């Protein structure tokens, strides 16, 4: 992080990453290298139906590792699902965890790992650095181009009582090995491809303007923004476009590395509350809110917003940083419109009566701490209303 023109001490955490077409074949060997004898394999029913779990199993069995499959995970996973998963893990006598899926199975796998070795309830770990005991070894196979959970120190779990997402952040949650195989992205629908791609872009943009950004996170964030701007439309348009899928897989990975280390901002602080209440797809909610939050944050980081515009391919020659930054926000809106992302919260079930509670909860979200512009409850309420 820069302060008074000097680079201050910062940390950058990342797992071992195996990336490329056919990388799924490395899952068994990776688990074996970590000393896993019996793996608790976490996924969800949608991923099970694609056949990727069975494919992963074949590679795991090749190296003689036993498995216990558990896939009772939903979108926006709940604390009750985590508690159920922990019981199964402890009863299975497994000694390591493998996740195959998108953000939901991965977040649950991490949460199960926490409770398996640290005990208590998952809400006990909400916030930053509350994990005290080492976790079981984890191998994560990403199946969507967006969440970035395979490389992050985040786990997002819904507290059913509060109807709000809990952000659990700890370097302990960075998996041992992350496997990213672009071939897996071919099984996703156009809508899911769009939503997860938007999620990756929101990670990259918020990480880039975060108060905790560093030169290391900036490199990954800007690269992700470029890749997404160039390839997301094509990835949504065609399941078989492996060039676009590979680019989006890399973009998701780089955005994940960026936000894991730089944290996020007001978009995610607000999105977590809406998703927890209405059980929406995280990427679509981000897509609705991100342009409004960018407009709000603009006065705090005009130069960085101008750089975002350039990364998205916007011609900014002859413009001052404010005009260039504004064109970047317009480019984000156009991208989202082209791939069918809703532009108003009312379209996904949001009501004005929810706003006061959502705003109060957003103020408590850890992601708000690194937002580049200070904001109070009234300003968050105003943003929700603008997006309504």
DSSP string, 20-41: STTGGGGHHHHHHHTT-SEEEE
Question: What is the rounded (10 degree) CA torsion for 187, 191, 192, 195?
Answer: 150
Q: Which residue has tokens 């990453």?
A: 17
Least confident of 156-165, 252-261, 288-297, 300-309: 156-165
- How far is 176 from 139, CA to CA, in rounded Å? 6
- Within 10 Å of residue 319's Cβ, how many Cβ atoms? 15
Question: What pLDDT is recorded for position 6?
Answer: 56
pLDDT of res. 276: 87
Q: What is the mean pLDDT of residues 362-368?
A: 92
Structure confidence at residue 146 (pLDDT): 85
Residue range 117-135: average pLDDT?
A: 95
Which domains, from first to last, does the chain contain?
Answer: 16-184 (3.40.50.1970), 190-387 (1.20.1090.10)
Determine the pLDDT at residue 91.
95
Reported as a single tens digit per residue, the pLDDT across 302-335 is: 999 999 999 999 998 889 999 999 999 999 999 9
Alpha-carbon span 358 to 353, nearest angstrom: 10
Lowest mean pLDDT among 9-23, 208-222, 226-240, 284-298: 9-23
Largest Cα separation within the chain, whole Å, is 65
Cα-based angle 84, 118, 163 (whole degrees, multiple of 5):
50
Residue 60 has pLDDT above 80, yes or no: yes
DSSP 3-state of 321 = helix
Helices (H), the chain: 27-33, 45-50, 52-62, 79-92, 103-118, 190-209, 215-237, 242-262, 266-278, 282-297, 302-311, 321-338, 355-363, 377-387
Phi, psi of 29 (to 5 degrees): -60, -35
- Over 80: is that where the pLDDT of 3 sits? no
Confidence of residue 356 (pLDDT cuts 50, 70, 90): very high
Model confidence over 86-115: pLDDT tens digits? 999 999 999 999 999 988 999 999 999 999
> Two tokens at 60?
């795991």
In whole angstroms, what is the distance from residue 212 CA to residue 233 CA?
A: 30
**pLDDT tops 70 at residue 124:** yes
Burial 366-385 (b: 16+ CB within 10 A, else e): bbbebbbbebeeeebbbbbe
pLDDT at 32 over 90: yes
Average pLDDT over residues 175-196: 95
pTM of structure: 0.93
Report how far residue 13's alpha carbon sits from residue 28's, in angstroms, rounded to the nearest whole number.
Answer: 24
Provide mean pLDDT across the span 49-73: 95
Can you tell me which residue has the tokens 């493998």? 98
pLDDT band, very low/low/confident/very high, at 234 (cuts 50, 70, 90): very high
| Residue whose pair of structure tokens reads 């099984």 in the numeric block | 187
Closest CA to 196 of 46, 308, 314: 46
Share of residues in the chain with pLDDT > 90 (%): 88
The average pLDDT across 165-182 equals 94
CB 332 within 8 A of CB 286: no
């Amino acid at each position: 992080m820069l302060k008074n023109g000097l680079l201050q001490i910062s940390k950058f955490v990342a797992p071992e990453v195996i990336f490329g077409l056919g990388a799924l074949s490395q899952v068994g060997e990776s688990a074996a290298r970590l000393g896993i004898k019996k793996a608790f394999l976490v996924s969800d029913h949608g991923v099970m139906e694609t056949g990727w779990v069975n494919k992963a199993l074949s590679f795991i069995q090749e190296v003689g590792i036993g498995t216990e499959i558990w896939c009772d995970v939903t979108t926006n996973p709940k604390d009750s699902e985590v508690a159920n998963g922990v019981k199964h893990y402890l009863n299975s006598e497994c000694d390591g965890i493998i996740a195959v899926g998108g953000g939901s199975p991965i977040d649950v796998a991490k949460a199960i790992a926490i409770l398996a070795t640290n005990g208590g309830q998952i809400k006990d770990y909400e916030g930053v650095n509350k994990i005290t005991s080492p976790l079981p070894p984890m191998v994560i196979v990403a199946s969507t181009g967006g969440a970035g959970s395979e490389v992050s120190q985040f786990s997002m779990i819904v507290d059913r009582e509060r109807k709000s997402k809990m952000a659990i952040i700890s370097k302990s949650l960075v998996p041992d090995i992350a496997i990213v195989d672009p071939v897996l992205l071919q099984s996703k629908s156009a809508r899911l491809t769009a939503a997860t791609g938007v999620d990756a872009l929101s990670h990259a943009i918020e990480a880039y303007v975060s108060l905790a950004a560093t030169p290391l996170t900036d490199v990954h964030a800007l690269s992700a923004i470029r890749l997404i701007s160039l390839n997301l439309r094509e990835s949504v348009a065609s399941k078989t476009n492996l060039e676009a899928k590979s680019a989006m897989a890399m973009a998701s990975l780089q955005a994940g590395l960026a936000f894991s280390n730089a944290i996020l901002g007001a978009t995610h602080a607000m999105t977590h509350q809406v998703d927890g209440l209405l059980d929406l797809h995280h990427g679509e909610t981000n897509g609705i809110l991100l342009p409004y939050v960018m407009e709000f944050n603009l006065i705090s980081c005009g130069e960085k917003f101008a750089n975002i515009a350039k990364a998205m391919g916007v011609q900014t020659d002859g413009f001052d940083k404010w005009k260039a930054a504004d064109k970047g926000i317009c480019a984000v809106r156009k991208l989202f419109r082209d791939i069918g992302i809703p532009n108003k919260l009312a379209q996904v079930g949001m009501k004005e009566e929810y706003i006061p509670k959502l705003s109060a909860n957003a103020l408590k979200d850890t992601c708000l701490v690194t937002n580049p512009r200070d904001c109070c409850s009234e300003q968050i309420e105003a943003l929700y209303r603008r997006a309504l």
